[in-house]
């Protein structure tokens, strides 16, 4: 019989987050790799750059990003947002995002 842990001793602390500099470097590296292959129509680095930008810009969890559909993204003049249909504890919520991610999403959709 396999025993499963019922309690986790994992503590959320600042050392487990990316620093501002680390997040900036991650985004820059992803952007640089995407720019190299953008014209060649290689999809993976371009997609990865969008996913990293989306995660850093919105704070979505990995599973929330994986479950997004194109219809969940609302790009408008002024306020742009996306719908998380099945978030933590099954909750539904609307997440707003800024102009930088809005521009990136528009570029990606045109490229796609």
Question: How far is Cα 39 from Cα 79, in angstroms, rounded to an integer?
Answer: 30
19-111 folds as hpI Integrase; Chain A (1.10.443)
57-108 pLDDT per residue, tens:
999 999 999 999 989 999 988 889 999 998 888 899 999 999 999 999 999 9
24-54 pLDDT per residue, tens:
999 999 999 999 987 777 889 999 999 999 9
Contact 10, 16 (CB under 8 A): no
> What is the residue extent of each domain of the chain?
19-111
**Quick check: pTM over 0.75?**
yes
Report the largest interatomic distance among the alpha carbons of the chain, rounded to a whole angstrom.
57
**Tokens for 11?**
């503590």
């Amino acid at each position: 019989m396999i025993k499963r842990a019922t309690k986790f001793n994992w503590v959320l602390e600042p050392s487990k987050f990316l620093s501002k500099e680390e997040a900036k470097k991650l985004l820059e590296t992803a952007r640089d790799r995407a720019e190299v292959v953008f014209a060649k129509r290689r999809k993976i680095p371009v997609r990865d750059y969008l996913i990293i930008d989306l995660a850093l810009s919105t704070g979505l969890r990995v599973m929330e990003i994986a479950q997004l559909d194109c219809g969940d993204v609302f790009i408008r003049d002024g306020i742009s947002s996306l719908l998380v249909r099945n978030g933590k504890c099954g909750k539904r919520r609307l997440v707003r995002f800024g102009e930088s991610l809005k521009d990136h999403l528009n570029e990606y959709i045109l490229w796609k």
